[in-house]
Amino acid sequence: MSYVRIWLHCVWGTKNRVSFLNDSNKQIILTHIRENAKSKGIYIDFINGHKEHIHCIISLDAEQTLAKTIQLIKGESSFWINKNNYALGNFEWADEYFAVSVSESQIDNVREYIKNQEIHHKRKSWEDEYNEFIEKYGFKRIWG
């Protein structure tokens, strides 16, 4: 048996940055994402979101790839959201996502950051946060 712990901070948004998560649906959707991921052997340590995007911490095992894991989470959740009529019209997540590794010593800080999305976004828009991620991690601009 291989012993692997790879922590990743993953972020993805709605297609066209449509504001979707709100007080009436946010916890239902986040709970579904966590439970569905668990049923597929995907470990979501922490998850939260704000209006048009979701942050989560996942831990991949030795057999999982990032691309397949994100595809399973996003694909199934958008199907479920549409099937259960949580969106007006057809709901989609954007194709793109961010994922950065997190060291064991920083995992609590990332949990706090994700936990406080409502407070964080009173001061900073999703657009500002997106641009900050691009700059901080040296990504080339892929959205917008």
Structure tokens at 81: 């959201």
pTM: predicted TM-score of the whole model, two decimal places = 0.88
% pLDDT > 70, the chain: 97
Is the pLDDT at 99 greater than 60, yes or no? yes
Average pLDDT, the chain: 91
Is residue 7 within 8 A of residue 102, CB to CB? The reply is yes
**43 strand-pairing partners:** 59
Domains and CATH numbers, the chain: 6-137 (3.30.70.1290)
Query: How many angstroms separate the CA atoms of 10 and 99, rounded?
Result: 4
What would the mean pLDDT of 89-111 be, rounded to a whole number?
A: 95
Query: How many angstroms separate the CA atoms of 81 and 93, rounded?
Result: 11
Among 132, 97, 111, which Cα is nearest to 45's?
111
What would the mean pLDDT of 56-62 be, rounded to a whole number?
A: 95
Is residue 91 within 8 A of residue 52, CB to CB? The reply is no
| Residue 7 confidence (pLDDT) | 97
Query: How many angstroms separate the CA atoms of 40 and 97, rounded?
Result: 20
Residue 135 CB partners (closer than 8 Å, separation 6+): none
Question: pLDDT (tens digit, 9 = 90+) per residue, 8-21?
Answer: 999 999 999 999 99
